[in-house]
Structure formats: structure tokens, C-alpha cells
Amino acid sequence: MIRAATENDIAEIRLMISELAAYERAVEQARATEEQLREALFGAHPAAYALIAEDDTTGGVVGFALWFPRFSTWTGTRGMHLEDLYVRPHARGGGHGRALLAALAALCLRSGYERFEWWVLDWNQSAIDFYKSIGADFLDEWRVCRLTGDPLGELAARAPAVAP
């Protein structure tokens, strides 16, 4: 079963984020707290949204998808960015990942979103194969850019004053 996340899912989402970070070899980077997730997902101005996958037999949480809207200046429409898709190892192959993606695709269409995009690590061949099996295009000509830490601060220090 796929359902919208509730505040009662925060601890489980945080745990799955830790599990995903371990799988992606980046445990030290997964620093979000339960309080931050609660505010981001259920605060006055949500920054993101989440779906939960539950095992039909046990009712246990076996995965989640966390996404947020984005905007394309080229199409003039919103789209969806999938930040995290995770299915616990014992539940992989059971259709939960496909069901989460299908639910998000349906949400895109209902919302008038023209694009549904996400990133995948280049070494995660099983995920790449899975995404290819559902018809995903891989945009090899685009590179992800990121500023964090000192370089972010150094660039920000050079910012001109911005009029209100």
C-alpha cells in the first residue's frame, strides 16, 4: 500500500534516511533531525512531501519517497523532483519502488506537472537498470553542480545588495 506520510511517520522516515545514507556510503552527510523533517514536511510552509510504502501483509513500513515541486522556465510549468526513493533491502523486488514511482507519476499528471526528475549515483547499476525498465531518460549531457561549506560562504560574501 502507498499512502501519504503523516507526522507519525517522522521517526521511521529519519531511520530510512539513515539506511539510505549507509547504502550510498554517505552516513556522515545525513544530518537532518526529526524536528527538521517535521517542519519541512508538516510545517506551515512545507518544503517537501513524502509517500510511504507499507507491506500489504504485515503493514510494516518498507519504503518511502520524498519529493518537492520545481519550476521550468522553458515549459513555464511546475515539475517534480524526487529527492529520495528508498525501499528496505528485505522488501526489494516486491514492487514497492515501482508503486511509489507510479503514485508520484499519477500525482504529476493530476497536478499538471510536465517533468518528473531525480538523480541516481553512477555506481548504482541496479537502480539505473530499474529506472531504464520504467522508461526513464538519462540526461548524460547535464552535470550536477553543488556549492556547500566554505565555497558557499565565500561566494555569498561577494553578493551585492539586493533591493527589496
| pLDDT tens per residue across span 94-120 | 999 999 999 999 999 999 999 999 999
Q: How far apart are CA 115 and CA 112, in angstroms?
A: 9
R_g of the chain computed on alpha carbons: 17
Q: What percent of the chain has pLDDT over 70?
A: 100
If you search the block for the grid coordinates 521550468, which residue do you land on? 72
**Does 86 qualify as catalytic in the annotation?**
no
Could you say which DSSP state residue 27 is in? G
**From 49, 86, 113, 131, active-site residue:** 131
Q: How far apart are CA 147 and CA 162, in angstroms?
A: 20
Mean pLDDT of 49-62: 96
Quick: pLDDT tens for 70-84: 999 999 999 999 999
- The span from the first CA to the last CA of the chain, in angstroms, equals 47
pTM: 0.92
pLDDT at residue 31, as a whole number: 96
